[in-house]
Amino acid sequence: MARLIRNPLNLILLVSVYLLGSANHSFFSALLNIYPWSENQLFVLSVGVMVLALQCFIVALLALVLPLRFVLALLLLIAAPVSFFADQYGVIVNDEMLRNVIETNPAESADLMNVGLIVRLLVFGLLPAALVLLVPLEPKRWWVQRLQMAGVGLGALLVMAICIGSASSQYASFFREHKPVRYLLNPGYPLYSAILFSSERWFVAEAKPFEELPTDARVIAGFGHHELVIMVVGETLRSDHLGLNGYERDTTPLMAQQERLLNFSNVSSCGTSTAISVPCMFSYLGHDNIDVKEARNSENVLDLLAESGVKVLWRDNNSDSKGVADRVTFEDFRRPETNPVCDEECRDVGMLAGLQEYIDTTPGDKLIVLHQMGNHGPAYYKRYPASFERFTPVCRTNELAECSQQEVINAYDNAVAYTDYFLNEVITLLKNNSAEYETNMLFVSDHGESLGENGVYLHGLPYSFAPEAQTHVPIMAWVGPHDDIDFEASKANQAQPYSHDVVFDTLLGMFEEQIELPSKAKNPLLHFRMD
């Protein structure tokens, strides 16, 4: 046996078979759900052979430029954690998911660590990778090795062509109509995504200069009133779990008591992750043409407001501002040194500490952005103090598949209720300043969350086929008694369809600012009285 695997070709085949069986459970489960085994045995077997050939082709291609054993070990180490998240949470690892991983903070990363992941990584990743690295391959000249790899690659392509040709009509349907299944190929698709993400993030030939909005996109008219606006950027709050939106549980009792609250219940997010949605909502780029790198490298609505004289403050209890607040005042509230309300973790309500003093000592118009930890998963049970545990029993692990779906939902709903409390505290602060300012609150959730429906958890699926649970988000606005917002006219449009594109124009409108650019959103979220 040891002599057999010393042969590079045998080792490639052995590892490829291992990856096919150990790391592609989600792929074959999805495939069999579409093509039941009893009616499609030959096609399913053909797909299995094609995937095996694809694994061999990937190895051969990489081994043309990298040592073979390193390539095999790398694929094993990639496949193990990817298969865990695919099997346990229904997560697809694409370039946007990798962006989320890179940009998350250590505390959020720790929430994803659990015994199941460690065991999967050790048993199915590190152990076989170590064995591969210890195998002494037959010594061959470098050009012979390259010829072998080229032969493996060509042979793999021939096998794939034969598989596709033998069932061309079924493959045509599979490729055309079931793209999400292909995203589950492991480690092929995660590796492709990693190369794509790396090329966009680090391997750019020339850095582009920072882009200002066109010169006619300057503030040209303001009406001089002092404004105080607090915008809350919510985290992972899906619209259908708000009592305000008809949810069977009263998760928003305090918001329901606010007489001057506008609740927009039909809103689509820009993305299914914070890394996409937060830059998108503040940028002039919309959902249809968002490029995160371009958004970060250009002016956003906070920049425009700051240039017009508005004092902009961003307080963050999440990972960071995703580049949005790079040019305005930023304060990190994830640490007890700055956040006075910390127990197991620092609470969102702590971001209100010292705000009254800031308001009293800062002249002029003010925009305060509060970026919540909110309902960030999978450890929903950590997102609220013990006193807010109203719905029980709750899931007290980040291995959500180990809990019943109801336990997961209970923990999530408790976190929703804590956000209700936090928003009520924000509104109370604004009410206390309504005599001196025109006061408004704007709440926008970045994206939704899957809670086990169809075996899918968390968020981050490609937008084209993400479930509504991940893309249907709430927007709420509280309007102060002396503001220029036409409350009744705005209220009449609460059920209209909107998207994150409304945020850019809404913030400008709240500060009675006009710019010489077309409105970003098709329809305004709020109606303003300009008298």
pLDDT at 265 over 90: yes
282 close to 326: Cβ distance less than 8 angstroms = no
Q: What is the pLDDT of residue 100?
A: 81
pLDDT-derived band at 224, boundaries 50, 70, 90: low
Overall average pLDDT of the 394-416 stretch? 96
pLDDT at 485 over 70: yes
User: Which of 47, 62, 20 has its CA nearest to residue 152?
Assistant: 62
101-115, 116-130, 214-228 — which is least confidently predicted? 214-228
**Angstrom distance (rounded) from CA 521 to CA 503:** 8
Q: What is the pLDDT of residue 217?
A: 46
What does the pLDDT look like over 267-281, one tens digit per residue?
A: 999 999 999 999 999
Query: Who's near 45: CB < 8 A, 6+ residues apart?
Result: none
Q: What is the pLDDT of residue 105?
A: 74
pLDDT at 444 over 70: yes
DSSP type of residue 346: B
Q: What is the pLDDT of residue 243?
A: 98
Residue whose entry in the numeric block shows the structure tokens 């990817």: 82
Q: What is the pLDDT of residue 530?
A: 66
Domains within the chain, CATH numbers bracketed? 2-201 (no CATH), 219-515 (3.40.720.10)
138-152, 257-271, 339-353 — which is least confidently predicted? 138-152
Q: What is the pLDDT of residue 317?
A: 97
pLDDT-derived band at 497, boundaries 50, 70, 90: very high
pLDDT at 1 over 90: no
**Angstrom distance (rounded) from CA 484 to CA 482:** 7
Overall average pLDDT of the 102-109 stretch? 76
Highest average pLDDT, of 290-299, 404-413, 514-523, comes from 404-413
Q: What is the pLDDT of residue 169?
A: 86
Enter the tokens of residue 251: 């998760």
3-state percent helix, strand, coil for the chain, nearest multiple of 5: 50, 15, 35
**Angstrom distance (rounded) from CA 384 to CA 415:** 5
250 close to 414: Cβ distance less than 8 angstroms = no
Q: What is the pLDDT of residue 206?
A: 55
Overall average pLDDT of the 282-309 stretch? 91
Mean pLDDT for all residues in the chain: 92
Residue whose entry in the numeric block shows the structure tokens 């590796």: 191
116-120, 260-264, 391-395 — which is least confidently predicted? 116-120
Q: Is the Cα dihedral 389, 394, 397, 399 positive or negative?
A: negative
Overall average pLDDT of the 195-203 stretch? 76
